[in-house]
Amino acid sequence: MLMRVANMDQAPCSIADVRSSMLLSGQRMLRRSTAREFCFTRKFPGRQSGCWNDGNCRRRIGLIRAVISDKPATTTAVTPSVDKGAMINVKAVAIFRKRLKEDMKDKIENQWVSLLDVIGQNVLLELVSVDIDPETSCGKRSKESALKGWLLQAAREDNMMECTANFIVSTDFGSPGAILVTNQHDKEIFLESIFVEGFGSEPIYFPCHSWVHAKKYNPEKRIFFSNQTYLPSKTPDGLEDLRQKDLKDKRGDGKGERKHWDRIFDYATYNDLGNADKSEDFARPILGDGDILYPRRCRTGRPPMKTDPSAESRKEKPGTIYVPRDETFEEIKKSTFSAGALKALFHNLVPSLIASFSNPNYEFGCFSDIDRLYREGQIIKFEAHQLDIFKNLMLPKIMKNMLKTGEELLRYEIPSIISRDRFAWLRDNEFGRQTLAGVNPVSIERLKEFPIFSKLDPAIYGSPESAIKSEHVEGELNGMSVEQALEEERLFILDYYDAYMPFVTKINSLKGRKVYASRTIFFLTTAGTLKPIVIELSLPPTVTGAQSKQIFTHGHDATSYWLWKLAKSHVCANDAGYHQLVNHWLRTHACMEPYIIAANRQLSCMHPIFKLLQPHLRYTMEINALARQSLINGGGVIESCFTPDKYSMELSASAYDRKWRFDMEALPADLIARGMAVEDPNQPHGLRLVIEDYPYAADGLLIWSAIEEWVEDYVSIYYSEPNSVQTDIELQAWWDEILNKGHYDKRNASWWPNLKTKEDLAGILTTMIWVASGQHAALNFGQYPYGGYVPNRPCIMRKLIPNETDPEYKSFLSNPQNFFLSSMPTQLQATKTMAVVDTLSTHSPDEEYLGERHESKWTNDGRALEAFQRFSAKIQEVEKIIEQRNEDLSNKNRNGAGVLPYELLLPSSGPGVTGRGIPNSVSI
């Protein structure tokens, strides 16, 4: 049988050619980590992923397009017209992915599997029709057929396998809409895709991309559906029962400990962060237990702790925390970077760093000690087996010099913040610029009222009025009064008073931790930049009722200069902690997880909204599980590297309780709420930015609008009928579960959006996709470029600022540089933090960026593919606009002598630490 390739000036090709082409495409995708020449091909509708520029790129994509129809969803394969009762032969071709790296054990297991396959213990397929069998009232089913060719395919040198199964079905069987798979091998297999030939002129495509469990572990057959899209009410009768069964299987029964091969999604509180069984010092409160509000995470069902039955026992490294099987990192990401590198980092590098310091409290003696980390590196004590582990991983740039033969050297890459101007961090204008264009540009607010008041209980925390008075401010306002500056929208504030004050006393009682509740006021200059003019650092009331509220301004003498620099450092440390624990972890990682769990429990993979969301759910549950194991857990990296220490997650939970609202996670709503924008229908995006050169907001609104337009186009395809959103039972169950299970502690809040119209739906989805993509990228991938130089962004402050009556004041006066550096993190804390944030700022080679989908035919609905093509083109336009803005000399917050361009919202990126790129999902 021959078919002509669409949109290609070339000879016809056979189905065999098509299958070979698909195998070739899959193999090359798996080799992304080693290939060098990469191009983006956007010519063909729906094909937005990367392809290798090997001379066969266009032909291969065209061949794949021939296999999988571009026709709208209303078109299905038609069985040839033959007399009823006659039989036809059809064939299924299944493509499997082998492991990238196989050790001797894997090879022996493969030989054993091949032998079992020969004697009949193989993989079975069963076709299910969209048409009802009147005898069973379910979809018509073929007889099971075993896949052939496993033995020969297993011997192939590449990573893909192609096996076939033959079926004989009646001519009135109807179009197959599902395939049941039984894996009789002793171990799981990764099924890439299946396509079925013989029903009409084109093969029917079944995207799988899934691990199929061994029958001996779970006798239930796996269900895979074609790439046809169906709303629940329009599900073909023959698939209705399978649609419900697949969802039921993924919900589970809420009992027992989850096994490695399970695909079960359920909810649990954050009751696994502490480890009281290890030591009372590692006990931590449960988040989401009713007293402390927090989103839910994925249930693992591990047994309770011995010392605390309400807490779940820990799975310590290098063990693996359960996440549903298909939510784990794919092998490319695991072997080349993320899971492997993170585990190597936490299990080998961090302990080795600790062992390398004879004194863990050793301080930086001078700024040259910091510079030496980039110029000469840090000698690390490694065992031979640890070096072997690192050599097998694609590690971030900072470790590249560590692996040379005979060397055990960790040399850090020069962070971007000092690569252009090593003294930029000292200047006030850079301090202000980073509030708009740094790694945490979402905390700055316009000051709307003066004096400033706290919302905390004055009976506990003292007077709510700030100590900042008009006289502290007006000398820096270019002749304006405070009232005039407020009216002209020229005053802004970075306010961490209410966030930190409840924790100040507890944190300051810890060894090597000192913190204030801080407020910083900025003035908007005529150049469009922010100038910090006054800082307030506060401590709680003492037993005598006195409250320490210190005011710091620029001053013009040496002492005032150094005090101002110390005050800025305390503000930066507060900003770093709040960024990591609230804006980054809570608002993107933790709050996304309930959406992912609910989507898998309530939306069929055939549902159009699941297909839309799927790329934005990728890898998040695995990275969150790794975080619970090694980052945010008691005694983990975050506690050891940031000022709040053991109170870190309580501070995060406090912010969830006080401030988090789903409706405010939409970028326009957030900007308006912070006073950084006002509604203006005459402006692009319907908003006027109060600071025109606010790079995060200006670029973010371009990304937001592109997402919004794409989502509205997509939703309109499937919800054109009145009440179609309200009558979609899966969609309503999904939203209900997010409110009442995923964010249980906020279930009664009045601000949750309704889900009644297609406009409601588009708004909800746009917010989720923005948070997973643009918001996370803006908050994550600048961590090393800005935080890799400790003085620019200290994550810990170890000393309070001395008063004239303090014993340390004289030592401060005699050597202010030494006092400043002794207030910073120790060398061990700094090097550990730098290694962690560098790893967390790194893109994986298999990353999927906004406007891309690695699965070229994620749906067979041509309308959706065309809408996605428009979205992809729009994202490319946005990238060009951002690049032009970065070259505009009038944009002082992204251009100038030594100034970093704002690239965190540039959509595309290569692998590694690039300081740019918007992945589709929270994937690191």
| Active-site residue flag, 924 | yes
Range list of H helices, 121-217: 150-154
**Residue 108 is assigned to a structural domain of this protein:** yes
- pLDDT tier at 34 (50, 70, 90 boundaries)? very low
| Active-site residue flag, 780 | yes
Task: Say how far apart CA 347 and CA 128 lie, in whole Å.
Answer: 47
The mean per-residue pLDDT over the stretch 272-289 comes to: 95
> Is residue 318 reached through a cis peptide bond, with omega within 30 degrees of 0 on the bond before it?
yes
Task: Say how far apart CA 91 and CA 102 lie, in whole Å.
Answer: 31
**Residue 770 is assigned to a structural domain of this protein:** no
Identify the pLDDT of residue 158: 73
- Mean pLDDT lowest for which of 12-21, 769-778, 821-830? 12-21
- Mean pLDDT lowest for which of 258-272, 532-546, 609-623, 778-792? 532-546
| Active-site residue flag, 159 | no
Number of H helices, E strands in the chain: 32, 24
- pLDDT tier at 111 (50, 70, 90 boundaries)? low
Which of 2-16, 54-68, 149-163, 808-822 is the most confident on average? Answer: 808-822
Out of 776, 796, 875, 918, the active site residue is 776
User: Which is higher by pLDDT, 380 or 735?
Assistant: 735
**Residue 164 is assigned to a structural domain of this protein:** yes
Q: What is the mean pLDDT of the chain?
A: 86
Identify the pLDDT of residue 468: 97
**Residue 478 is assigned to a structural domain of this protein:** no
Identify the pLDDT of residue 378: 73
Residue 913, pLDDT > 90, answer no
The mean per-residue pLDDT over the stretch 21-37 comes to: 38
- pLDDT tier at 690 (50, 70, 90 boundaries)? very high
Asked whether 755 and 609 are in contact (CB, 8 A), the reply is no
DSSP letter for each residue of 741-763? IITGGGTT-TTSPP--SHHHHHH
CATH value at residue 171? 2.60.60.20
**Residue 635 is assigned to a structural domain of this protein:** no
Identify the pLDDT of residue 372: 87
Radius of gyration of the chain measured on its C-alpha atoms: 29
Mind listing the pLDDT tens digit for each residue in 390-421? 554 444 444 444 444 334 566 788 999 999 99
Query: CA dist 69 to 6, 29, 47, 423, Å?
Result: 10, 22, 13, 58
| Crossing angle of the two packed helices 648-658 and 558-578, in degrees rounded to 10 | 80
DSSP letter for each residue of 344-410? HIIIIIHHHHHHH-SSTTPPP-SHHHHHHHHHT-EE----HHHHHHHHTS---GGGTTTTSTT--EE
**Residue 192 is assigned to a structural domain of this protein:** yes
Mind listing the pLDDT tens digit for each residue in 492-540? 999 999 999 999 999 999 999 999 999 999 999 999 999 999 999 999 9
| Residues in CB range of 807: below 8 A, 6 or more apart | none
Percent of the chain with pLDDT strictly greater than 70? 81
- Mean pLDDT lowest for which of 28-37, 249-258, 356-365, 856-865? 28-37
The dihedral sign for the CA sequence 298, 299, 303, 307: positive
Range list of H helices, 119-239: 150-154
User: Which is higher by pLDDT, 79 or 445?
Assistant: 445
Asked whether 184 and 116 are in contact (CB, 8 A), the reply is yes
The mean per-residue pLDDT over the stretch 912-920 comes to: 94
Looking at the structure of the chain, the number of domains it has is 1
Identify the pLDDT of residue 112: 61
Identify the pLDDT of residue 85: 67
Q: What are phi and psi of 40, to 5 degrees?
A: -105, 125
| Active-site residue flag, 607 | no
Q: Across the beta sheet with 530-541, what order do the strands follow? A: 445-446, 491-495, 517-524, 530-541, 547-552
Identify the pLDDT of residue 682: 92
> Nearest 5°: CA angle at 703, between 865 and 879?
90
* Model confidence, pTM: 0.88
Residue 859, pLDDT > 80, answer yes
> Cα–chain-centroid distance for residue 462?
40
**Residue 751 is assigned to a structural domain of this protein:** no
Out of 185, 570, 579, 584, the active site residue is 584
Residue 658, pLDDT > 80, answer yes
Identify the pLDDT of residue 201: 84
Task: Say how far apart CA 760 and CA 711 lie, in whole Å.
Answer: 11
Identify the pLDDT of residue 767: 98
User: Which is higher by pLDDT, 391 or 658?
Assistant: 658
Identify the pLDDT of residue 213: 97
> Nearest 5°: CA angle at 78, between 73 and 80?
170
**Residue 537 is assigned to a structural domain of this protein:** no
CA atoms within 13 A on the CB side of 307: 13
Identify the pLDDT of residue 51: 33
User: Which is higher by pLDDT, 148 or 664?
Assistant: 664
| Active-site residue flag, 554 | no
Structure tokens at 302: 């591990």
Domain with 127 in it: 87-238
Percent of the chain with pLDDT strictly greater than 90? 71
Out of 110, 348, 780, 886, the active site residue is 780
**Which residue is listed with tokens 């066969």?**
56
Residue 119, pLDDT > 80, answer no
Out of 570, 579, 589, 743, the active site residue is 589
- pLDDT tier at 316 (50, 70, 90 boundaries)? confident
Identify the pLDDT of residue 73: 40
DSSP letter for each residue of 634-646? TTSHHHHHSTTGG
Task: Say how far apart CA 289 and CA 293 lie, in whole Å.
Answer: 7
For the chain, the residue count is 924
The mean per-residue pLDDT over the stretch 363-380 comes to: 85
The mean per-residue pLDDT over the stretch 222-243 comes to: 97
Identify the pLDDT of residue 398: 44
Mind listing the pLDDT tens digit for each residue in 602-643? 999 999 999 999 999 999 999 999 999 989 999 998 999 899
Identify the pLDDT of residue 746: 97
- pLDDT tier at 870 (50, 70, 90 boundaries)? very high
Identify the pLDDT of residue 396: 47
Residue 374, pLDDT > 90, answer no
Asked whether 282 and 276 are in contact (CB, 8 A), the reply is yes
- pLDDT tier at 83 (50, 70, 90 boundaries)? low
> Nearest 5°: CA angle at 50, between 49 and 56?
115
Identify the pLDDT of residue 79: 43
The mean per-residue pLDDT over the stretch 733-744 comes to: 98
> Cα–chain-centroid distance for residue 798?
31
- pLDDT tier at 331 (50, 70, 90 boundaries)? low
